[in-house]
């Protein structure tokens, strides 16, 4: 059977109550009885001694002289709620405070040392009582003689009754503590049980896929912290799910448009809408669309490999050389559009410690964009310089620039500004996301300064190679 935490706690509480009651009724009652008996016996003993010393002078072992003390004895006996005897050395009860009932009786086997090393004895006192009594005795001494004894008895049942009254106080106190300890149950309910229920409900919702669910728990303790962490986790998961959804939607859209146009051209060729003399023109468009698809696939593959945090293959290399080589690879495109490069290097050789292949790709994407968005006949400025332990590379163009509200978005996958959509049909919107991921994988930064209609400058940093 599955027992909830709450039931376990209540069961524990009840067990605590029952055990507490047993402990009070056994241990406490025994201790209380012992304590009361000893207390009463001590009081009786003191009284017996007082009586013994007060009457030693007049007591001569003769009955007549004791008659006079009988009434006082009786008063003390009533006060103590006890029975007081005066017994002579032979064990004859000379005076009995209890209406002289036993006066004249001889106690068989009388032994004043019956209490042993205790100050009192419990029992029927040499068979004189049919019930248990607590008895104390004090010798009556005079002229270096022991004349007799003052013996005081108190029924044990009476002491028990008194101690029961004391026990009642303990029972009531224990009951009050038991009820007050309900506060612990209440605190547990408020601080542990209810929050735990809310958190469990949250976990259930997340498991069922409802990641928008928020655990409503405003507590400034471990439970509150746990709920806040779970809320954060679900929000992040939700965000990632949302990102995956838009990512797939973008990929599907970007694949579908070239495929639709390829299909359109090919169908038009087959059904004769496009005459054979126009084939070349349209087939070239088909090739251009397939190139776009290849580029898109390539970009996605690169991003995928970067996502998995592929290890960087770092080495020391001269960034100037890589810049020169990458710029040279655009010679063909630049010639056709009369675009020039202006390369400025702070030093002849500037060694960096990075993954050369990936940095080549960064430079390629940045220069490709700079050329794409510049007008014919313009110049692209590339600089490399060092500051402290970093080498900074800047790729600057005097092209169309990026609108202010798009500057932050250009790093997102598939993002293209409206102007570039019209101008650059082949662009995938993946180039700068790849650039950013590569630079971040190196633990470095990339930034852009751009003014619409004036131009853009992309600056990124790389670690300088350690001089050996
Ligand atoms: P694309 O493959 O479309 O160029 P990118 O991720 O490289 O994708 O760039 C995203 C968008 O950022 C581009 O479509 C363009 O709108 C803008 N952009 C990037 N570089 C430049 C630049 N040098 N000048 C103007 N706009 C740029």
For 351, counting Cβ atoms within 10 Å of its Cβ (0-12 exposed, 13-18 middle, 19+ buried), the class is middle
Ligand 1 pocket mutation pick from 432, 436, 460 by most atoms within 8 angstroms of CB: 432
In short, whether 384's Cβ falls inside 6 Å of ligand 1 is no
Measure 329 CA to ligand 1 centroid, in angstroms: 19
Q: How far is the CA of 161 from the centre of ligand 1 (A)?
A: 100
Render 118-137 in DSSP notation, one character per residue: SS-EEESTTTT-SS-EEEEE
Chain mean position to CA 390: 42
- The answer to whether the beta carbons of residues 80 and 47 sit under 8 Å apart is yes
Segment 292-309 mean pLDDT:
80
How far is residue 239's CA from residue 342's CA, in Å, rounded to a whole number? 43
- CA–centroid distance, 364 to ligand 1, in Å, is 13
CB 148 less than 6 A from any atom of ligand 1: no
Q: What is the pLDDT of residue 422?
A: 60
The pLDDT of residue 1: 44
302 or 59: which leads in pLDDT = 302
Question: What angle is formed at CA 358 by the lines to CA 354 and CA 361, rounded to 5 degrees?
Answer: 135
From the CB of 398, is ligand 1 less than 6 Å away? no
The span from the CA of 160 to the CA of 188, in Å, is: 41
CA of 431 to the centre of ligand 1 (A): 7
User: Which residues, other chains included, contact 434 with Cβ-Cβ below 8 Å and sequence gap of 6+?
Assistant: 299, 302, 303, 306, 361, 362, 365
Angstrom distance (rounded) from CA 196 to CA 446: 45
The confidence score (pLDDT) of residue 420 equals: 62
Q: Is the pLDDT score of 349 beyond 60?
A: yes
pTM over 0.85: no
Compute the mean pLDDT over every residue in the chain, rounded to the nearest whole number.
87
pLDDT tier at 303 (50, 70, 90 boundaries)?
Answer: confident
**Cα–chain center distance at 82:** 66
Share of the chain above pLDDT 90, in %: 40
CA distance 454 to 341: 17
Nearest CA to ligand 1 atom 19: 369
455 CB less than 6 Å from ligand 1?
Answer: no
Cα gap 152→436, rounded to integer Å: 104
pLDDT in tens, 176-189: 988 998 898 888 88
- pLDDT, residue 247, reads 80
- 3-state SS class at 92: strand
Atom of ligand 1 nearest to the CA of 458: 23
Q: With H, G, I as helix, E, B as strand and everything else as coil, classify residue 391.
A: strand
Characterize 142-169 residue by residue with b for buried, 16 or more Cβ atoms within 10 angstroms of its Cβ, and e for exposed.
eeeeebbbbbbbbbbeebbebbeeebee
Q: What is the pLDDT of residues 5-36, one digit of tens each?
A: 778 888 888 998 899 889 888 888 888 888 99
**Can you give the pLDDT at residue 148?**
85
Q: Residue 348: what pLDDT? A: 94
What is the spatial distance between Cα 73 and Cα 52, in angstroms, rounded to a whole number? 11
Q: 317 C-alpha vs ligand 1 centroid, how far in Å?
A: 28
- The answer to whether residues 390 and 351 touch, using CB atoms and an 8 Å cutoff, is no
Tell me which DSSP letter residue 24 carries.
I
Nearest-CA residue for ligand 1 atom 16 is: 417
133-150 mean pLDDT? 85
From the CB of 370, is ligand 1 less than 6 Å away? yes
- Residue-level pLDDT at 308: 59
pLDDT per position as a tens digit, 376-423: 999 999 999 999 999 999 999 999 999 999 999 999 888 888 766 565
**What are 354's strand-pairing partners?**
315
Ligand 1 centroid to Cα of residue 89, in Å, is 127
Q: Would you say the CB of residue 432 lies under 6 angstroms from ligand 1?
A: yes
Distance CA 38, CA 309 (A): 84
| Strand ordering across the sheet containing 83-88 | 93-96, 83-88, 145-155, 133-142, 121-123
What residues have CB less than 8 Å from 176, skipping those under 6 apart?
A: none
Indicate the pLDDT class of residue 244, thresholds 50, 70 and 90.
confident
User: How far does residue 425's CA lie from ligand 1's centre (Å)?
Assistant: 12
The Cα–Cα gap between 466 and 464 comes to 6
Distance CA(167)–CA(27), nearest Å, equals 11
Region of poorest pLDDT, from 33-42, 277-286, 298-307, 342-351? 298-307
Q: What is the average pLDDT across 310-321?
A: 89
Confidence label for 204 from pLDDT (cuts 50, 70 and 90)? very high
Ligand 1 atom 8: residue of nearest CA: 429
302 lines ligand 1 (CB under 6 A): no
Instruction: Report whether residue 369 contacts ligand 1, using a CB cutoff of 6 Å.
Output: yes
Contact indicator for 389, 349 with CB cutoff of 8 Å:
no
- List all residues 6 or more positions away from 163 whose beta carbon is below 8 Å from its beta carbon: 29, 32, 33, 35, 36, 37
Long-range pairs for 253-259: beta carbons < 8 A, 24 or more residues apart: 254/296, 254/414, 254/428, 254/429, 255/293, 255/296, 258/289, 258/290, 258/292, 258/293, 258/296, 259/289, 259/293
Question: In the beta sheet, which residues pair with residue 342?
Answer: 381
Provide the pLDDT confidence category of residue 2 given band limits of 50, 70 and 90: low
Q: What is the largest CA-CA distance in the chain?
A: 164
**427 Cβ closer than 6 Å to some ligand 1 atom:** yes
Q: How far apart are CA 35 and CA 29, in angstroms?
A: 10
Nearest-atom number in ligand 1 for the CA of 419 is 16
Per-residue pLDDT band for 64 (boundaries 50, 70, 90) equals very low
Which stretches within 56-102 are classed as H helix? 63-80
Contact 381, 323 (CB under 8 A): no
For the CA of 424, the nearest atom of ligand 1: 3
Strand partners, 259: none
Ligand 1 mean position, distance from CA 379 (Å): 18
Of the chain, the end-to-end C-alpha distance in Å amounts to 71
Instruction: Check: CB of residue 36 under 8 Å from CB of residue 120.
Output: no
Mean pLDDT of 297-311: 76
For atom 4 of ligand 1, which residue has the closest CA? 427
Q: For ligand 1, say whether the CB of 446 is within 6 Å of any of its atoms.
A: no
* Mean pLDDT of the region 118-132: 86
CA 384 / ligand 1 centre spacing (Å)? 22
pLDDT tens digits for 72-119?
Answer: 778 888 888 888 888 888 888 888 887 667 778 888 888 877 766 667
Structure confidence at residue 283 as a pLDDT band (50, 70, 90)? very high
Cα dist. 57→94, 144, 151, 173, 216 in Å?
A: 16, 12, 18, 50, 90
């Amino acid at each position: 059977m599955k027992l909830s935490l709450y039931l376990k706690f209540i069961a524990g509480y009840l067990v605590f109550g029952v055990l507490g009651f047993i402990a009070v009724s056994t241990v406490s009652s025994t201790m209380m009885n012992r304590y009361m008996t000893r207390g009463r016996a001590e009081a009786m003993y003191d009284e017996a001694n007082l009586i013994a010393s007060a009457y030693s002078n007049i007591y001569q072992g003769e009955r007549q002289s004791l008659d006079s003390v009988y009434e006082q004895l009786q008063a003390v006996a009533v006060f103590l709620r006890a029975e007081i005897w005066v017994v002579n050395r032979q064990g004859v009860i000379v005076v009995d405070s209890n209406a002289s009932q036993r006066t004249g009786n001889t106690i068989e086997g009388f032994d004043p040392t019956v209490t042993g090393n205790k100050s009192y004895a419990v029992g029927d006192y040499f068979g004189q009582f049919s019930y248990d009594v607590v008895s104390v005795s004090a010798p009556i001494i005079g002229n270096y003689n022991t004349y007799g004894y003052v013996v005081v008895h108190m029924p044990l049942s009476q002491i028990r009754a008194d101690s029961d009254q004391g026990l009642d106080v303990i029972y009531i106190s224990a009951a009050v503590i038991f009820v007050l300890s309900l506060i612990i149950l209440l605190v547990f309910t408020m601080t542990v049980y209810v929050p735990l229920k809310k958190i469990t409900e949250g976990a259930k919702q997340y498991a069922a896929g409802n990641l928008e669910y928020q655990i409503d728990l405003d507590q400034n303790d471990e439970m509150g912290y746990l709920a806040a962490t779970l809320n954060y986790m679900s929000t992040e998961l939700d965000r990632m799910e949302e990102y995956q959804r838009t990512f797939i939607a973008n990929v599907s859209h970007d694949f579908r448009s070239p495929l639709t146009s390829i299909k359109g051209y090919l169908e038009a060729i087959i059904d004769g809408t496009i005459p054979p003399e126009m084939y070349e023109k349209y087939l070239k468009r088909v090739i251009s669309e397939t190139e776009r698809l290849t580029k898109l696939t390539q970009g996605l593959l690169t991003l995928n490999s970067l996502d998995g945090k592929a290890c960087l293959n770092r080495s020391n290399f001269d960034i100037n050389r890589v810049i020169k080589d990458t710029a040279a690879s655009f010679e063909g495109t630049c010639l056709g559009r009369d675009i020039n490069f202006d390369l400025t290097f702070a030093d002849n050789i500037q060694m960096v410690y990075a993954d050369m292949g990936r940095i080549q790709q960064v430079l390629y994407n940045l220069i490709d964009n700079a050329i794409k968005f510049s007008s014919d006949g313009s110049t692209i400025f590339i600089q490399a310089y060092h500051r402290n332990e970093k080498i900074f590379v800047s790729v600057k163009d005097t092209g169309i620039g990026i609108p202010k509200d798009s500057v932050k978005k250009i790093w997102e996958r598939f993002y293209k500004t409206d102007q570039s959509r019209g101008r650059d049909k082949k662009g995938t919107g993946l180039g700068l996301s790849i650039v950013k991921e590569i630079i971040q994988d190196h633990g470095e930064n990339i930034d852009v300064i751009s003014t619409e209609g004036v131009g853009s400058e992309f600056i990124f940093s790389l670690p300088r190679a350690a001089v050996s």
